[in-house]
Copies of this chain bind each other. A is one copy, B any other.
Amino acid sequence: MRQDPHDRPLPVTSYALLGLLTFGDELTGYELKQRADITLRFYWVSPAMSQVYSELKRLTELTLVEASDDLDDGRRTTRYRITAQGREVLEAWMSTTPAGFSTLKHPVALRLLMGHVVDDATTRAMLTEYLDEVGAARSDLREVRESLRGADAPGEAFRYPALVADWGLRHFDSEEDAARAALRELGDPG
């Protein structure tokens, strides 16, 4: 049982990359990584370049994507597109997989949990730093969201990316509120 690699369930990141190839264009590994950095990173992960290439290799072997080699500028590039089988597999995954719970890896919350180990000034500094990072991430995501305007209505190309972007913005708002609330509790002089 289970020797055949076709039996093994794909890691979610494979489906994520497959999903990025459903938006119409053929992408190089490099471009795929850029797309992932724009969108996926907020809800899933930004896979390393090396992983993008190895996932593409796997997906090609499973014939879920097709590669075409170009020699555009004298520079060798390989573009990938999703196959009909890839679409089927992706759709099946989306239809049949249970929702699954979100996982938060939150180093700031983790360290707040053990706040008694350091003094409150240290913890406040950490929270303030985190607020900056949340602000930066939110403004990145807001830019993405704005770039989708005009194609975010029902039936249009970027409806669903727009919906998730709104979800993400809400999340960052909540993070900011939570960090500010914690700072207040810690008697932030500001």
Q: Give A174 to B174 CA distance when docked, in angstroms.
A: 6
Contact status B166-A181, CB under 8 Å = yes
Contact status A160-B95, CB under 8 Å = no
Q: Give A179 to B113 CA distance when docked, in angstroms.
A: 27
Per DSSP, are chain A's interface residues mostly helix, strand or loop, or mixed? helix
Given A12-B107, A105-B105, 4 extra CB contacts under 8 A: A44-B110, A94-B114, A104-B105, A112-B164
Contact residues in B for A133 (Cβ distance below 8 Å): 99, 101
Query: For the complex, is A53 an interface residue (Cβ under 8 Å from B)?
Result: no
Contact residues in B for A90 (Cβ distance below 8 Å): 114, 117
Contact status A168-B94, CB under 8 Å = no
Query: For the complex, is A10 an interface residue (Cβ under 8 Å from B)?
Result: no
Residue of B nearest to A90 (CB): B117
Contact status A108-B99, CB under 8 Å = yes
